[in-house]
Amino acid sequence: MKPVKRQKILAAAEKLFERFGPGKTGVDEIAAAAGVAKGTLYNYFGSKEGIIRELISDKIDLFERALKGTLDDISDPLEKLKSAALERYRFLRRTPYIAAIILNEENDVVSRELVRFFEDRQRGIVARIMDEARRRGRIRRSDSASVTDGVIYLLKGLEFSLKNRLDTARFEEVEAEISRLITFFFSGAGKAAGKRQL
């Protein structure tokens, strides 16, 4: 696949998705916006769903590389979790078409597959932070998986509560809300485990 043509198709699709959403954007519109034949689009991606998969996979890879750089500079696991949650919120805010899929506004097979993909990647990030906390003696070995699950549910709940405010919420308010919820969660988790708080 020629990288320039691939990027041209993905860039055109992204602009259309941002404007109309993935569900209301057709292959004809993507091909026209990219200046390629419809057949070329099918040769490269197989379908509109293939374009969505590639685009979101690329965006998630970029997000994770940026997040890794941010997290590498932080030593405290609680601060890492707050930063990961804030970066995820920023990511959803910058990519409203992905937010629509992740927050279940689109409910087709591809959307559900992409939600699982995104959640699996997020779970991996949180699990690595929890493993680090366990290695440092901040949580018990047996708590690591349950705390990871709890954080994932907390983040999803927070995202759904912010769903209607992605465009309007002031970032400082969101940052304070994320910080307060994660701190509160770990305060309770620390007491329940009979250990120091994270």
Give per-residue pLDDT as tens, 124-166: 888 888 888 778 777 766 667 777 888 888 877 877 777 766 6
Rank 9-18, 89-98, 105-114 by mean pLDDT and report only the highest.
9-18
Domains in the chain with CATH codes: 1-46 (1.10.10.60), 49-193 (1.10.357.10)
Give per-residue pLDDT as tens, 15-43: 999 888 888 899 999 999 999 999 999 99
Enter the pTM of the model: 0.76
pLDDT of residue 45: 93
How far from chain centre, in Å, is Cα 20? 20
pLDDT of residue 196: 45
Q: In whole angstroms, how far apart are CA 24 and each of 13, 16, 27, 89, 93?
A: 11, 9, 10, 24, 20
